[in-house]
Structure 1
């Protein structure tokens, strides 16, 4: 027909196309940016909500796609589980991620609500496949130590364990104490194995908070340990007010799920699961199925939540101005008591609280070596009362606390204690390691007409405040910006105005009035006792008590160090100050070391001061190790075999 091309032409076009196609490269190469490469290698369902590249490739091997898995999840997982072409590691790791993705999609619970059975079952399936990958494949975890995939699977396990443990925790109150096995979402929950202690003989928290999503303002660093298990903050009930000590009711807890079985198939078949709740201060590893593996931990989270919920700032100000709040010293344990760890006792300053040590405690206990060696106690005391009263009450509180935890006094925790005091807390710390002898009686203005019997009774009454010996348990002290000789700032108009607002506790007022009346008599004009000095009065460089106490000798068995702040230094060191405390007041002759830090009065929070405190604590521990291990007497701790490892 006219206009129609010959029949051979279309055939020729097809033939040419086939020839051209056969000559084209079927594989292309392109370069991607480093950030894209890293993102592709490390992305998974936890950080992008999309399946990892490794899981997608495993699906490709068994002729599946993400869309097919989304349409028929059961068929997808069964195909993965039973198809040839994948080794156990690829199969189990892909199943762990697929089940986790399904669990996260099914989990509609809000914060504080119970997880539905479908989602809980999926989380447990994910954790079990991850567990099987880690411990029941041909290679041990250590053989995959540098592989990204193992890190991903460990994250899958830890997150699935976190969600499951939160669900189990909500179930515990309904189970009571006499149970061994409880049905949950088609699984059998076996009775947990726990070594977590929350004080006051409590072992079951009243609240459990996942640490993974917590962020803190005010803390410079978060100290945690990577490893196996999910990190929590366990919160116990408030301690009974039956002594001056307070055991910690905010503690770290690391949870792990175990799926019993001797073989891979028995683990994949089991519907039993056991929770391990571990105290990371005691446990750095966990033993599972013949493997000893590092235990994950978050040491900052409990401390951060405790501080955030404490209300210390408001309470300390109410206490200062006599508006309620604290009336007696408390000894706050930052970790569960451990008789085999050395004790560091910290004392804050005027108008302050444990918040003065926010970063100090976190940085010290974030140090792995120091955490294994020390436990921290913080003395929280009312800062409105006179120094002599606080000294007596703090000493009593510490003595009662030490005796409560170690009646014999032989534990490591009760000996070679380190005192650390800032500002007024530094003054108190120095007096705790000093001997008064009879040097403070001159501060008392006795009435000239007192009889010998009256004078003796008066001295008996005042002895707890003005006559004391060093704490024998303390062998080292660190004083930070401490006004040992007082400060002229206490005489400034503003300071005197603030001092006039301070109100002393009623019990102290009554006791003080009786003492002042006995020593000074009645004011001739008003007929009222003379005014009782408060803490700001005591910190004046003109105060009789501070002047007399500054000359008291520190016990020869105590090594001590000073850290001072220098604010806008001009001229020689002896004329400098930290904005509040003059250098000449903070300086102590005979100190083992002295560090000057460019800082305002809150020098304890500076990185330089914290590094120095760490150094001192390492030195202290090293010398004691020499003492205990090498048989060197305390008098010879400066011998070379002791000092070689101390720095």
Structure 2
């Protein structure tokens, strides 16, 4: 009996010991092979891109014995860390960690004072006081610290509803005291505008553009709106009223490490529009500013009525809203800069140039020589009328911006036109004599029974001289000999019923129709629309195609051809190659694409090449 009891006891002890033995056999430390991307994410992840603390910051918590305390009471752990810094008990590694821990707690608690604390710690790491050594440029914490600083000031100085960053002087709470921020309100001035509504670009997801340009650096990248300083600002410039300005906010904290020892800190807030500078000097170092022009451009287009105007600008009163003829600059015009004017096509808008403008503006070699303008117009109007509006707009802009004629850049203008816009572009660079008029009328203009106002309108539209300041033109998918789509009678018939006459032409139309006997051809009871003008059989386009570009203007062609068949018999779905091709151009590039080729990389790079060649750059 006793023997059986002992046996049972031994079995029970063995059963109890098995887990201990098994545990002793398992290695407490080890490594297993996994996908390298998993390891990379573990090593490079941080609070900004994963929502979790980085490996380097967790290491610092461990070294300072604060891992558990931070989990239990984050604010107490951060207070201890700051006291250790002030007491000189820490090394440099603590600053990026303190920045990330502060940001992590700000995200969890919603306390914006910790966003500002993150910015302070990051600044100390990036720009140490006095002669302290700089961080190793290959240290990955350098970029993390810059991003924490950038986001820290954007969120720490955010409006109560957190939709915009506030650019103003004020006193802000810190976890250990207060931060006095100085700001010069004159920094809000941008040409004849005041900048407002500073949206952090880090919160903007861009769509519709293939390229997103980011210039990594220091500062909070912003997309700013603007308001006129005075009501008559358009009298003095042509800046687009709804454009969003790419700008960067920078909060300078001089002697930040020393200031950290007290309960009150001082900083200075600065604002830098992208058009003014790309770098700043901090503690004797030239540092790039964080800039994201693509997002600012996309944000401006998102809030603009430009897309709504595409069809409205073609059909006019069918939609109860006409498109406004408008020439605008995307930045304040700069002395000596050459304007590049983009002219959109039929049922289109200036927004269709976004991809090209996005890429070209990001290129310093282009940006240092050129300003970008855009012309919008009612693309259903007669082409000669729209071209007249373009010429008037360009002439008035040059007169407005350079009344004394001293700006050399304004004398070297480049005009780029897509589709119908290419025909408008051509009419800035030709001497027509009476040819266009003779194609429309068989009576001399002085014998028309119309008012002098209408006579002057006809003369300005059909008797064209090249603009003296236009020196280069670029045609993209331009129907010089018309579009085969416009040749289809049912298409023209439908659109003729829908396209309305611009108000400025209503009176003149009635007067001209009363002179039907003066018409060179029977035109019915209306003036031709742009679609009529682009029919290969139309006298206007047939005559214009035979007029050469003025000898003082260099011309270039970019022609789209679909598929991989012979170029000479190809088309882009709207315009045949034989219509887009003209003799006498300085260059011609064929791109295998459809009609809207202006957003394709080959077309953009060709425009870039032409612009660089224009200023003698390589």
TM value normalised by structure 1:
0.82
Please give the alpha-carbon distance, in whole angstroms, between the structure 2 residues aligned to 1:230 and 1:361: 23
Q: 1:202 aligns with which of 193, 212, 220?
A: 193
Q: Which residue of 1 aligns with 2:216?
A: 226
CA distance 1:511–1:72, change in 2 (3 Å): closer
Alpha-carbon contact 1:193-1:277 (below 8 Å) kept = no
Alpha-carbon contact 1:216-1:304 (below 8 Å) kept = yes
Report how far residue 586 of structure 1 moved.
0.9
Please give the alpha-carbon distance, in whole angstroms, between the structure 1 residues aligned to 2:525 and 2:305: 35
Please give the alpha-carbon distance, in whole angstroms, between the structure 1 residues aligned to 2:346 and 2:80: 67
Q: 1:65 aligns with which of 55, 64, 67?
A: 67
Q: Which residue of 1 aligns with 2:225?
A: 235
CA distance 1:457–1:211, change in 2 (3 Å): closer
Paired positions, count: 585
Mind listing any 5+ residue stretches in structure 2 that lack a counterpart? 7-20
User: Is 1:558 aligned to residue 553 of structure 2?
Assistant: yes
Alpha-carbon contact 1:88-1:133 (below 8 Å) kept = no
Residues 198-221 of structure 1 show CA distances to partners (whole Å, capped at 9, x for unaligned) of 56x22231x221111212221111
SS of alignment partner, residue 193 of structure 2: coil
Residues 241-277 of structure 1 show CA distances to partners (whole Å, capped at 9, x for unaligned) of 956934353111111111233x731355342222111
Q: Which residue of 1 aligns with 2:509?
A: 512
SS of alignment partner, residue 144 of structure 1: coil
Alpha-carbon contact 1:227-1:297 (below 8 Å) kept = yes
Q: 2:94 aligns with which of 79, 88, 91?
A: 91
Alpha-carbon contact 1:61-1:86 (below 8 Å) kept = no
Alpha-carbon contact 1:196-1:279 (below 8 Å) kept = no
1:428-577 alignment runs, 5 A limit: 428-447=424-443, 460=456, 462-492=458-488, 493-518=490-515, 520=517, 530-568=525-563, 570=565, 572-577=566-571
Report how far residue 506 of structure 1 moved.
3.0
Q: 1:368 aligns with which of 364, 383, 395?
A: 364
Q: 2:605 aligns with which of 611, 615, 632?
A: 611
SS of alignment partner, residue 488 of structure 1: coil
Alpha-carbon contact 1:259-1:273 (below 8 Å) kept = yes
CA distance 1:197–1:600, change in 2 (3 Å): farther
Please give the alpha-carbon distance, in whole angstroms, between the structure 2 residues aligned to 1:453 and 1:386: 21
Q: Which residue of 2 aligns with 1:161?
A: 153
Q: Which residue of 2 aligns with 1:636?
A: none
CA distance 1:548–1:268, change in 2 (3 Å): farther
SS of alignment partner, residue 378 of structure 1: strand
Residues 103-142 of structure 1 show CA distances to partners (whole Å, capped at 9, x for unaligned) of 22221xxxxxxxxxxx222221211111111111688786
Q: Which residue of 2 aligns with 1:339?
A: 335
Alpha-carbon contact 1:58-1:91 (below 8 Å) kept = yes
Alpha-carbon contact 1:444-1:519 (below 8 Å) kept = no
SS of alignment partner, residue 589 of structure 2: strand
Please give the alpha-carbon distance, in whole angstroms, between the structure 2 residues aligned to 1:233 and 1:290: 28
Greater Cα offset, 208-217 or 333-342? 333-342
Report how far residue 278 of structure 1 moved.
0.8
Q: Which residue of 1 aligns with 2:128?
A: 136
Report how far residue 195 of structure 1 moved.
4.6
CA distance 1:171–1:318, change in 2 (3 Å): closer
Q: 2:390 aligns with which of 389, 394, 405?
A: 394
Q: Which residue of 2 aligns with 1:42?
A: 44
Q: 2:104 aligns with which of 92, 101, 106?
A: 101
Please give the alpha-carbon distance, in whole angstroms, between the structure 1 residues aligned to 2:47 and 2:453: 77
Please report the RMSD computed on the Cα atoms of aligned residues, expressed in angstroms: 3.6
Report how far residue 82 of structure 1 moved.
1.8
Q: Which residue of 2 aligns with 1:635?
A: none
Greater Cα offset, 444-453 or 461-470? 444-453
Please give the alpha-carbon distance, in whole angstroms, between the structure 1 residues aligned to 2:446 and 2:126: 83
Please give the alpha-carbon distance, in whole angstroms, between the structure 2 residues aligned to 1:159 and 1:228: 10
Alpha-carbon contact 1:522-1:529 (below 8 Å) kept = no
CA distance 1:340–1:38, change in 2 (3 Å): farther
Alpha-carbon contact 2:486-2:531 (below 8 Å) kept = yes
Please give the alpha-carbon distance, in whole angstroms, between the structure 1 residues aligned to 2:331 and 2:249: 18
Mind listing any 5+ residue stretches in structure 1 that lack a counterpart? 6-19, 108-118, 623-644
TM value normalised by structure 2:
0.85
Please give the alpha-carbon distance, in whole angstroms, between the structure 2 residues aligned to 1:379 and 1:278: 28
CA distance 1:560–1:517, change in 2 (3 Å): same
Please give the alpha-carbon distance, in whole angstroms, between the structure 2 residues aligned to 1:173 and 1:29: 47
CA distance 1:424–1:268, change in 2 (3 Å): farther
User: Is 1:356 aligned to residue 357 of structure 2?
Assistant: no
